[in-house]
Chains A and B, each alone.
Chain A
Amino acid sequence: MTTTTPATQSPAEPSHGRRLFGIWLILALAADLIIWFVWKPHLPPGDLSDSARHQQLDIAVLAVSAAPVIIFVLLYFTYAIVVWRARPGDDSDGEPIYGNTKVQASWIIGTTIIVLWLFVFGTVELVGPAGAGAGEGPSPVWKLAGATSATWTPGGKTMLEVQVIGQQWTWTFRYPQFGGMESTELMLPVNTPVTFHVTSLDVIHSFWAYQLGVKADANPQVDNVAYTTARALGGVTVRCSELCGIWHGAMFNYGHVVTQAAFQSWANGVQSKEKTDGVLAALPPFALAYDPTVVPQLGAALPKIDGITGAAGYYYPPGDPVTP
């Protein structure tokens, strides 16, 4: 960083530049070591999945890159306030320095190097782990390796597909490889590549599986794909992170990462239960996006109220629901 001393310096004065550089070096090194070795393992979002691990790494790398900059600026200003404050009774002006090409050039080069390094690192971290858990739109450019299949069995290399359906104000998870059964609990097998198909029935939501490090907006009529692979057993909290109406804050569901065998028995169990209950028959056939005004079982579209645009009435009449 910019530690070059301006050339105009009276010999009687201490070398402010060297002094600053020394203090900065010690503080920056200490901060970076603490961040990397002490703080990093505890940084959010944890290491439950591949995408979460990569995000944790990114946050740590950003912190390690940023800490020296923050320390440099704060140290400099503190030093200036202490050393170069006007003493009482001193009414004189400072030395007129209009610029210093060396300082300015090294500053620009220094900041450019940091920025380009962060860009290259960020891009590698985005492309490598298949979008790093972020929503990649309907046709992802960076795909997670894994075979697609109409069924899923433990032990294979098959990808598990999970559809995430947002609606005011809950999440539903649909498993097309298990007959399109639905659950309000997000169950995932460990060490299995997972494809999330995120969509919404009404407004824009954002699917945020915090511990998995997955976030993808749920847009109506859009299939937004995100990938992850869970690496450990544990609980998952799913929240909505895009304002979606009055109970946005109460829109959360829970889930678990379980062993592959436990997942299969859970999924088969739910599937057969929903089959006997008639739930599967009542659900619309699996699709990547749904239009809530179309119910295929009725054979025709629901009558659309004139006013799907415009104020079609308060959405929550007459009073607000007391509980979500």
Chain B
Amino acid sequence: MALETHQELAEPAGSGPEIGGPGGVMRPWWLRPGVHLGVAAAVIGYLLGHWLGNFLSSDYARNALSDTNDVPVVLGYTFATIGWLAGLGVFNDPGRLLLGKPLLAEVRRGAAEDGLSKYFRYTLDHKVVGIQYLFGMIVYFLTGGLFAMAIRSELLSPSYHLLGPSQYLMVVGEHGTMMMMMMSSVILGPFGQYFGPLLIGSKRVAFPRIEALGFWLTPAAYVILLSAILFGGFPGGWTSYEPLATQAGPGQDAYYFAFGLMGISMILAGFNMIVTVINYRAPGMKWSRLPMFVWSMFTVSFLQVLAVPVLVGACYMGLLDRTFQTGFFVNQLGGSSFLYENLFWFFGHPEVYILALPGFGVISEVISVFCRKPLFGYRTAAAGMLGVGILSFLVWQHHLFDSGINPDMRPLFMLTTELISIPTGFIYLVAMGTFWKAKIRFSVPMLFALAFYFNFLIGGISGVFLSDVPADTTEHGSFFVMAHFHYTIMGGLIFAFMAGIYYWLPKMTGIKLNEKLGKLHFWTMFIFFNTTFLPLFALGMMGMPRRVFEYARNLETLNDWVSISAFCLGVSMLIFLFNFVMSMLFWREREVGNPWRSRSLEWQLSSPPPHENFKRVPVILSGPYDYGVPNALPVADLNPPLGIIGAAYPATTGVEG
């Protein structure tokens, strides 16, 4: 990255292809690509694909024998997805480029438009995409939460049933898969896309089309995953091991297709983030000044780009097994159900850290501001994230300790799994150093950050219990594991997400959430989260396997306690939702300044930030965490003089890149 000495010439669009005249006429809204056209095209696409599938495969002997046929379903999903994207206008720009026509200005100008319409279109602005992700992920989360309520209602009694056995498995599978799909994007999506460029002093992301495509795949994945309900769901939970998946009906196709689509979305988002962070840092934004949140996004992006293709591959192979009879995972036909287990967890374990690292990033930002102290051990924190990222590729077989795969390698995987707690521990070292002699302010984001450390501690330590093979023999596949990963994902990531919402929503919208309700939300969520999930460790240890529909009679009391706590946790989410809706739509308490007195770059701008973030590319003068430093330089010069950057700012001579 060279120093931009003539910032007026550094307009990002300047080097791109020709764009139709800046005053190009806008078509009426219903003729411009958007959600309405996307839905219409998706429906047409599904019908077309379904017809084509029946046309191609209706004379397969096995379809006549089994009375089901997966080909039309899979082709229907494929054509529906393509139609959805086409209706949104994803293919317009590449198509026009192929034909040598000038691009339409509508897509770009859409981002600057007032009103809500831009949020329902394929808009090429990272701030719009961030808001889209925020709402999308909240919808995902609440849907997944409803399934969780259904699970807990069913488990109120060991023998009386609310759901049928296959309905129960459908709910379990939908809950797990939906949550896993959503958690991988819950921070990278809203906050990563919105604040990634802002925090590095960039006006834009590297690939806005890829970024927007990444978001618009998530609604498609959502609908397709839910459509499994129409086929009776899929029986295998979010892991969907073979050969159980082979027994499933076409709901299994929805699982493979939706998870694969979400995988593609994750790869695209990660790819865009890596290139943006490397190439779009403002002058003076050295690697050693990169905010910790950007470090976490950067590391997570590498995990996504390297690990998620394995998931996409596994889903693709699963779909081929079900349509073209390839037999990748079928033992009798030369395939292997072990292959699926390995592929799934080779993705699945980095995925776990794709979920954990963004939480570390958000929390690191929050504690520094509310401790009024620099982040302790900045390099240690960055090293911790990188260490977690690298080690996460070397631990996947600990999910398969009892499977009979490669038993002689268990000590190695036990070692790597336990080693990963060292870089994870760095995050605690950094936090504890930052809290040392701090001036702690208990704002709502800070409360969530403190709860994060509490919950993740329990989650992390129980993970060490699981890494030990003899101890794992009792804990594997039981409620103990379930409690463990809910502590790290819900207790860690979702608490960090909530911290991020309370911390950043005033910046994203210019409106702040009600603080009293925020505190009520925090305390109910923290207390009921723990009363829900702590007893699950005991249940697991007492011999209750995961995903059961009936359990031993002596565990009923504890299960009832957990279910009632879970309902209270649901009520806590309703408090949040109420606060969110009322604050955003009705109370609309403006917050335009810098309420947290943060030094971070995004808080130096107006709320919400202007259309292209910065009038000129800022020059970064100092690190983001220099609290309490007498005469500290401001974090950036937002209006640097033209042409003299190098001479006027000796502090920036060390620009890397």
Seen from chain A, the residues whose Cβ lies within 8 Å of a Cβ on chain B are 2, 6, 16, 43-45, 51, 54-55, 58-59, 62, 66, 69-70, 73-74, 76-77, 80-81, 84-86, 90, 92-100, 103-104, 107-108, 111-112, 115, 118-119, 122-123, 125-127, 129, 131-138, 140-141, 198, 202-204, 206, 208, 210, 213-217, 219-222, 224-225, 237, 239-250, 291, 293, 304-316, 320
Contact = CB atoms under 8 A, between A and B. Distances in A.
A314 B461 CA distance: 42
B249 A314 contact: yes
B404 A240 contact: no
Contacts of B474: 44-45, 55, 59, 210, 213, 215
Given A123-B414, A137-B404, A90 B439 contact: yes
Nearest to A316: B166
B545 A241 contact: yes
A132 B469 contact: yes
Interface stretch (B63-71, B85-93, B511-519): B63-71
A77 B450 contact: yes
B65 A134 contact: no
A248 B439 contact: no
A94 B628 contact: yes
Instruction: List the 7 closest A-B pairs by CB distance, nearest first.
Output: A249-B548, A307-B62, A93-B628, A241-B477, A313-B66, A132-B470, A246-B165
Given A95-B628, A135-B403, A119 B439 contact: no
B198 to A, nearest CB: 23
A148 to B, nearest CB: 19
Contacts of A131: 407
Contacts of B373: 93-97
B477 A58 contact: no
Contacts of A244: 244
Contacts of A222: 338, 404
A90 B371 CA distance: 12
B442 A85 contact: yes
B627 A137 contact: no
Given A85-B439, A134-B401, A309-B246, 11 more contacts: A66-B461, A86-B441, A94-B627, A107-B425, A126-B410, A220-B337, A240-B545, A243-B239, A243-B546, A249-B550, A311-B69
Contact of B473 (A115, A132, A320): A132
Given A311-B248, A312-B62, A97 B376 contact: yes
B406 A115 contact: no
Given A58-B471, A94-B437, A66 B464 contact: yes
29 contacts: A55-B474, A58-B468, A59-B465, A66-B465, A70-B458, A73-B457, A86-B440, A93-B439, A97-B374, A104-B433, A107-B426, A115-B418, A118-B418, A119-B411, A126-B410, A134-B401, A136-B407, A137-B404, A224-B403, A241-B476, A243-B546, A244-B244, A248-B549, A306-B60, A306-B65, A307-B62, A310-B62, A313-B65, A314-B249
B407 A137 contact: yes
Interface stretch (B13-21, B215-223, B327-335, B600-608): B327-335
Interface stretch (B123-131, B317-325, B345-353, B635-643): B317-325
B469 A245 contact: no
A132 B477 CA distance: 17
A62 B465 CA distance: 6
B169 interface: yes
A224 B326 CA distance: 26
Contacts of B439: 84-86, 90, 92-94
B23 interface: no
Interface stretch (B229-237, B495-503, B609-617): B229-237
B27 to A, nearest CB: 44
A141 B166 CA distance: 39
A287 B354 CA distance: 44
Given A213-B473, A250-B549, A241 B371 contact: no
Nearest to A207: B402
Most buried by B among A135, A208, A249: A249
Contacts of A118: 418, 464, 467-468
A240 to B, nearest CB: 7
B422 interface: yes
Contact of B543 (A134, A217, A237): A237
Contacts of A69: 461
B478 to A, nearest CB: 6
A181 to B, nearest CB: 25
Contact of A58 (B372, B470, B629): B470
A250 B438 CA distance: 54
Contacts of A2: 429, 432
A200 to B, nearest CB: 9
Contacts of B468: 58, 62, 118, 122, 125
Contacts of A305: 62, 65-66
A85 to B, nearest CB: 5
Given A98-B378, A219-B338, A84 B478 contact: no
Nearest to A8: B437
B454 interface: yes
Given A74-B454, A219-B338, A320 B165 contact: yes
B523 interface: no
Interface string B236-268: 110101111011111010000000000000000
B377 interface: yes
B522 interface: no
Contacts of A213: 473-474
A125 to B, nearest CB: 5
Contact of B380 (A76, A77, A104, A138): A104
B66 A126 contact: no
Contact of B67 (A216, A243, A245, A313): A313
Nearest to A292: B332
A169 B377 CA distance: 54
B322 A309 contact: yes
Contact of A248 (B242, B435, B543, B548): B548
B61 interface: yes
A97 B627 CA distance: 10
A79 to B, nearest CB: 9
Contacts of B376: 97-100
A104 to B, nearest CB: 6
A123 B450 CA distance: 35
B438 A80 contact: yes
B428 interface: yes
A208 B545 contact: yes
A95 B374 CA distance: 8
A268 to B, nearest CB: 32
Given A98-B374, A99-B433, A118-B468, A310 B323 contact: yes
B551 interface: yes
Interface in B406-448: 406-408, 410-411, 414-415, 418-419, 421-422, 425-426, 428-429, 432-433, 435-442
Nearest to B551: A249
Contact of B407 (A95, A140, A210, A242): A140
A23 B611 CA distance: 54
A96 B440 contact: no
A2 B377 CA distance: 14
B656 to A, nearest CB: 20
B104 interface: no
A76 B454 CA distance: 11
A126 to B, nearest CB: 5
A84 B471 contact: no
A70 B425 CA distance: 12
Nearest to A84: B438
A103 B338 CA distance: 45
Contact of B332 (A215, A249, A291): A291
B457 A204 contact: no
